[in-house]
Amino acid sequence: MRIAIGSDHAGFAYKAIIRDALREWGHDVTDMGTDSTEQVDYPTFIRPVAEAVARGDFDRGVVLGGSGNGEAIVANRVKGVRCALTWSVEAARLGRAHNDANVISIGERLVPREILLEIVRTWLDTPFEGGRHARRIEEIDAP
């Protein structure tokens, strides 16, 4: 799978952990920054991830920040992106199964490191259930 990943300074440490794990799991990962814990404006790094997923350059995207809230908001402003704010394994599973989330947002300050990779793995491995959810998602994504 082709996956884009980006964070602000507050999500930088988790971004590195996820990026390295995704590559270890065999995915093609592009890191779109930031490259340090020096304070930055998060939309600068989050919007390019969302736009790249919406264009089809990547299959999925991962965005990170302190809480993940702002990152999810920025990503969801891009047509064709369905970004789920994920703070638990169950949130990741439901984001895929019910919402066909093609991007996830994770808050480094709110998600325990012990479940970080389980969240990402669950999101990657959970299929979209379709059904009644699919029709509504198609309406949202329609031009």
Catalytic residue among 51, 98, 133, 138: 98
Give 37's contacts (C-beta < 8 A, 6+ positions apart).
9, 10, 12, 13
| Catalytic residue flag (residue 71) | yes
Nearest to 102 by CA among 3, 16, 15: 3
Q: Is the dihedral of CA 52, 61, 104, 67 positive or negative?
A: negative
118, 62, 95, 133: CA torsion to nearest 10: -140
SS3 38: coil
Residue type at position 41:
D
Catalytic residue among 71, 90, 114, 129: 71
Structure tokens at 34: 């930031």
| Catalytic residue flag (residue 98) | yes
Beta strands in the chain (DSSP E): 2-7, 28-31, 60-65, 83-85, 103-107
**Where in the sequence numbering do the catalytic residues fall?**
71, 98
